[in-house]
Each structure stands twice: as C-alpha cells, then as structure tokens.
Chains A and B, each alone.
Chain A
Amino acid sequence: MKKSAQASVLSRLPILIFVAWRNIWRNPIRSVLTISALASGLVMVILYASLLEGMTRQMVRFATEISTSHIQLHRQAFIDDQDLYATLPWSYMQKLEQEFPDITIAPRLYASGLASSTNTSTGVLIKAVDPKREIEVTKMLEHVRHGKLDLGIADITENGFARYNLVIGAQLAKNMNVEPGDELVLVTQAADGSIGNALYRVAAILKPLEPNFDRMGVLMSIEAYQQLMYLENGFHELAIKVNDLSQLENIQADIIEKLNKLTAVEPLDKLGGVPVVRNWRQLNPAVADLLELSKAFVFIIGFIIISLASLGMLNTMLMAVHERTHEFGILLAIGMKRRWLLLMVLFESFFLSLVSAAVGSVVGLIINNYFEEHGIDFSQSMPDGYDWAGMIFEPVMKGYLIPMDVVYACLMMMVVTMLASLIPSWQTIRLKPAEVMR
C-alpha cells in the first residue's frame, strides 16, 4: 500500500516538474529579478571566498617563504632558552638530506652580541646562514633594499685577518646610521667562553619583513660565524622546505621517525635536549588560528549574503502562491493531491535557485578569473603593501578560488532558498478548495 503510494508520486514527478518549470517563466521579469538577486549574492560570496583565500595563501607564503620555511628542526634547549650549545651535529643534516630527496634544507646558527659603529653601539641578534642553501629554501636574501647581497670575505686587514660582509636590518641600519660599505664591529661571548670580536663590512640592508630582524638582525655566513664563535660542531636550526605542501604532515612524521633512529645510532649530549620538529603552523600558531578564523568568516558572511538574497526569493514565491490561489483550488478540485502541489511549488523554487546557482557560478568564475590574473591593485596608494594582523601584504590583492568553494556556496544557497520557500509552499497545504472556488 505504502509502496504503491510512493511509486505514484514518482510517476507524477515529470508532470509536476514540467508545470513548475513553465510556471517560472510565467512572470519572466519577476523571475529574472529574483535570479539576478540570488546570482549576485552567489557572485559576491564566490569573490569574497576567492579574495580571502588569496590573502590566506599570501599569508602562508609570507609565513613560510620569508624565513620560517615549512618545517624547522631545533633542540629543546635551544627553543627554551636559546642555548648556544644546543646544536645538532652536521652529520644529521647530511643524513636527512640523503634520506629525503624531496626536501630542501638550510642550516642556521644564532648568537647575540653587541654591534658598534663609529658613534653608537647596540645589542644585536646574529643569524648565520649558508647563502647557497638559504636561497633554495627561503626568500630572506632576496629582499635587499640597499647594497649588494654578499656574505663572503670583503677584504683582508693589515694584520692578515679576513673581514667578512654582513647584511643587516633596515631599522638597525637607520638606528646605527650605517650604510652599505660602512664598517661594523661585533662583540660577543664565544662558545669557549672567550670574548669574540671582529670587524665587518656592511654589504647590504634588508627590507623590513620581520619586525625583530628589522630592529636587531645581523646576517653573516656560517664560516664567519664559526670564526667568531668557535662553534663548529653543529647547527641550531634547520629550515626545511617541502616540495608538496599537501604532504607536510606526512613528511614531518617521517623526519621525526628518522631522527629517532639517528639519535639511537649517534646519541646527542643530554643537556641540549631532544630534537624537535615543528611545521609552520606550530611555529606560527597565531597565523594558523587566523587562517581557521578566516574560513569561519567566509561561511558566516556567505550565509548572511545568501540569506539576504533569499528574502527576494521568499517574496517572489509568496506572491506566486498568493496570486495562484484560485488555480491551486482548481487543481485540488480536479484531484491533484496536496503533497503533489507542495512538491510542484518546491520544484519551482528549486529551479529558480538552480538557475541562479548556474548563472552566479559562471559570472563569479569569470570575474574571479580577472581577480586571479590581475588582482585589485592598491600600489598607487600603498606602494609598500599593507599591514594586517601583524603581517605585511603585497599591494596587489589577488584572488585564489578553490573549486569546491563554488560547490559549497551553491549548495548553501540552494539549501537556504529551499528552506525559505517552505514558508510559501506551506500555504498550499492549508488551501480549502471550497473556499477558494466561491
């Protein structure tokens, strides 16, 4: 009994769908307006999602490319209190490199010291890199503002010492009033406890990218560092770039496993602590949180835009049902079932939202294409880019559309509009043909 009733609804579907489709074009202007409103809402959601994703990607690139890279390796004591002696042996780096051909790595060493120019001195953070490797992993060395990037030997002094080049942060250069070509003396406590001190030449000044480095960063080569610090047995930090970012977590897990094996074969001293492998999200929790937040944001804003656009749909369907009361009465009288009528009205809303989804997606994709290629250019008013949530953004805002976002936006629109159209559909349920016909 129940089964045959269901079968009968199914067999009536084609005629209900047919009449519903015709009904949409009964008042073409009204339908076109409704579709335009819904489609525009969808276009806005798509573009909004695309621009936010574009910003997000830029943010991730910034967070990783400038200096963090995708994964970093340290020892616990270095993380906890910048312990100078908490190094990992160079052999670890070679073993990791052999084991993982799909990653690129760059070692780094750190120290703090005092820098003096002709008239001032200030505390600095010394960062030592291997320029050849560093260029492969991050873009840190590309952002030169003045001078020429060179961390090699500048010249040999009269007493036969090599003078190395340095690259320093812009704010530091300004504070110390030094320019490329000027001399700088660094004083620090070396690894053997002695006072290390040497004369350097400033080769280049970096653009402001990281606030800390900008204020007190001094970049030198690893050889220069080793001569200054007498610390040759290892590195403090390993920056790792993975080729396939979608494999980030897997690669991280593999590296951890490999390190476990390495520490078993080549034990580390107790004091420096265990090796710690963190990905960029763990290194920049604030940025990672922001990204999560922006996803929620797209959803909420999208929901609001679509709900507003759906009010137009609600109005259209209320009018459509209202002006057809007599017609519905006739249909009920000649034997149309109420649920068929309800279904017919729902199909009508469904078609309106389906057409809107199609139009909105196509228009959204076309405009988005422009946004992806050309972006929105603010470089006239903000040549240095802009600063949002502690991050520096490029002056050209580019979109990046995830195809699934279009599908989700369409689905959300269709669900919201169908829910809205339940209200007018419900009115057909309460129609009394005898009263309608009178």
Chain B
Amino acid sequence: MALLTLQGISKRYQQGELEVNALSDINLTVEEGEFAALVGPSGSGKTTLLNIIGGLDSPTQGTTRLNGTDITTLKEAQLSDFRLFQLGFVFQSYNLVPVLSALENVELVMVLQGKHKNECRQRAEHYLELVGLKDIMHRRPSALSGGQQQRVAVARALAAGPRLVLADEPTANLDSENATALLDIMHTLSHEEKTTFIFSTHDPRVMDRAERIITLQDGKIVSDERHHHEHKT
C-alpha cells in the first residue's frame, strides 16, 4: 500500500465574485521512502497542495489518505495529533522558536509527543550531529545563519520520527551553495532514516537532487517523472 494517496483533490478559493481553482482533480500516490520535488510556476498550487497533505488546510473535494487514514475526515484535535506523530514540517524561513536554543527547538516536538526527557535529549543531539550542528546546538536561532536554521528545522522534523516530511520551499531564502548543501543533508537522511520527503522548489539545482519531480501548472499535475540517479554519501 502506498504511503500517501490523493484522490480527486480540488481546492477552490472564493474571492468575492471570483472563484480561484487553486487545485483541480489532483491524483497522486507517493511510496514509502520517496524523495519527491513539487515544482511549478508561482501560483500553480504547490503550497496549497502541501498544506492539504499536511492537514493544515482542507480540500474542497477529494480524499487524502496517509498510511491508510483518510485525514480529511479527522477532527481538529485528531489532526493535531496526527501532525505531531506522523508528519514533519520545514517551512521557508523562521521555522524555529526564537527563545529556545537549537537543541531545545529540536527537543520541543518530542517533548510535545510525550517522550521521556532523556530520549528527547539523546535523539536531538543525534540529529543535530547528523546535520552538522552539534557544536553550536546551544545557540539561539538569532545566532545561526539562515542555512543553519534550516538544518535545525530538518533535524527537528526528523528527530520526531515522522512518516512523511513536508517542506515548502525550504531553500528559498538560501544562496545556492547552502541550498544544495541542505538538499544533500535531506537526501542523505531520507535514505538513512527511510523517511519520505515531499518538498516544493523553484530552484533547478535543488530539483536536480530529487528522485521524482511532480510538476504543477494551474492547479493540475502536468508531469510526473522519476530520476534514478545514484545517491552519493
């Protein structure tokens, strides 16, 4: 069974008289362990789609099944639990709580999950080491570069042990060097942790690192290609 199945997803926004079809009849399956990019011009519906997959927004029509659960039927509190335990998020910027250190930010999700203190600490340190930030894990976000902050966000998403990590333009505010470095980290972790990633991007160099590229245009999937390139460690 596929990890994620979207069936007939449509999203219409009402803007006064005008109706905007942000998404129309999207059908998509994503298997466990995939590393997929969502691309397309601005306004094509990438953010809308990621929000619907993440249960942050509800579709006008259609169903979203994750790991067998139809999340469109879940209530607010259940959705919140679902996100807490099954999903990881990395947003474009300002992902972190500014009053907490990098380490505390990574621990936060696990603490909210109710994990034991020691386990939170161990896992947080482990993942910060994987993203190469163990030395500066006691710094607050304001003392980290944009790239470092995004890496902390990736560590936070993964440390909580999600089935699926959603990242909406995680590299948009990074220069290309930092952007490719972040992608490499995400890619490596995706393999090592067998975690599924779906991320949106505009950046061709970032797209290159994806194993699957789903292209959206005007709210429809216009192409869906798999690249089987070697993963370098």
* A positions within 8 Å CB-CB of B: 8, 11-12, 15, 19, 22-23, 25-26, 326-327, 330-338, 340, 433-434, 437-438
Complex contact B98–A334 (CB within 8 A): no
Give the residues in chain A near B91, CB-CB below 8 Å: 330, 333, 437
User: Do A336 and B112 form a contact, CB below 8 Å, given A330-B94, A437-B91, A437-B168?
Assistant: yes
Contact assessment for A333 and B99 in the assembled complex, using a CB-CB cutoff below 8 Å: no
Inter-chain contact B95/A338, CB cutoff 8 Å: no
Complex CA gap A22/B104 in Å reads 12
Q: Is the interface of A mostly helix, strand, loop or mixed?
A: helix
A437 in contact with B56 (CB, 8 Å)? yes
State in angstroms the CA–CA spacing of A276 and B134 once bound together.
87
In this complex, the member of B54, B99, B160 whose beta carbon has the largest number of chain A beta carbons within 10 angstroms is B99
Judge whether B89 is part of the interface by a CB distance below 8 angstroms. yes
Known: A333-B54, A333-B83, A433-B56. A23 touches B109 (CB 8 A): no
Known: A330-B89, A335-B87. 13 other contacts (CB 8 A): A12-B111, A19-B99, A19-B108, A22-B99, A326-B94, A333-B56, A333-B83, A333-B91, A334-B156, A434-B56, A434-B57, A437-B56, A438-B47
Name the 6 nearest CB pairs between A and B, nearest first: A335-B84, A22-B99, A434-B57, A434-B56, A335-B83, A434-B51
Interface on B for A, CB 8 Å cutoff?
A: 47, 51, 54, 56-57, 76-77, 80-81, 83-85, 87-89, 91, 94-95, 97-100, 108-109, 111-114, 156, 160, 168
**In the complex the two chains form, is B56's CB within 8 Å of A335's CB?**
no
State A333–B82 Cα separation when bound (angstroms): 10
- When distances are taken between beta carbons in the complex, the residues of chain B under 8 Å from A26 are 98-99
| Contact in complex: B100, A335 (CB < 8 Å) | no
From A12, A327, A340, B97 is in contact (CB under 8 Å) with A327
Chain A's nearest CB lies how many Å from the CB of B221? 21
Which residue on chain A has the smallest CB distance to residue B57? Answer: A434
Given contacts A12-B112, A327-B94, A336 and B51 within 8 Å (CB-CB): no
Which one of A12, A22, A326 lies within 8 Å of B100 (CB-CB)?
A22
How far does the alpha carbon of A336 sit from the alpha carbon of B77 in the complex, in Å?
A: 10
A-B contact pairs, 27 of them (CB 8 A): A8-B114, A12-B112, A12-B114, A15-B112, A19-B99, A19-B108, A22-B99, A22-B100, A26-B98, A327-B94, A327-B97, A327-B98, A333-B56, A333-B83, A334-B89, A334-B108, A334-B160, A335-B83, A335-B85, A335-B109, A335-B113, A336-B84, A434-B51, A437-B47, A437-B51, A437-B56, A438-B47
Contacts of A8 in B (CB 8 A): 114
Nearest neighbor of A25 in chain B, beta-carbon distance: B99
Q: Which of A331, A335, A438 has the most CB of B within 10 A?
A: A335
Q: Compute how far the CA of A281 lies from the CA of B168 in the bound complex, rounded to whole angstroms.
A: 76
Q: Do A330 and B80 form a contact, CB below 8 Å, given A15-B111, A434-B56, A437-B56?
A: no
Q: In the complex, which of the residues A15, A22, A333 has the most CB atoms of chain B within 10 Å of its own CB atom?
A: A333
Q: Report yes or no: A332 in contact with B168, Cβ–Cβ below 8 A.
A: no
Measured CB to CB, the closest approach of chain A to B10, in angstroms, equals 16
Question: Chain A residues near B112 (CB, 8 Å)?
Answer: 12, 15, 334-336, 340
CA of A408 to CA of B99, assembled, Å = 34
Determine the chain B residues whose CB is within 8 A of the CB of A334 once the complex forms: 83-84, 88-89, 108-109, 112, 156, 160
Cα–Cα distance between A25 and B121 once the two chains are bound (Å) = 24
Give bound CA distance, A125 to B195, whole Å: 103
Tell me if B47 and A333 are in contact (CB < 8 A).
no
Complex CA gap A269/B132 in Å reads 106
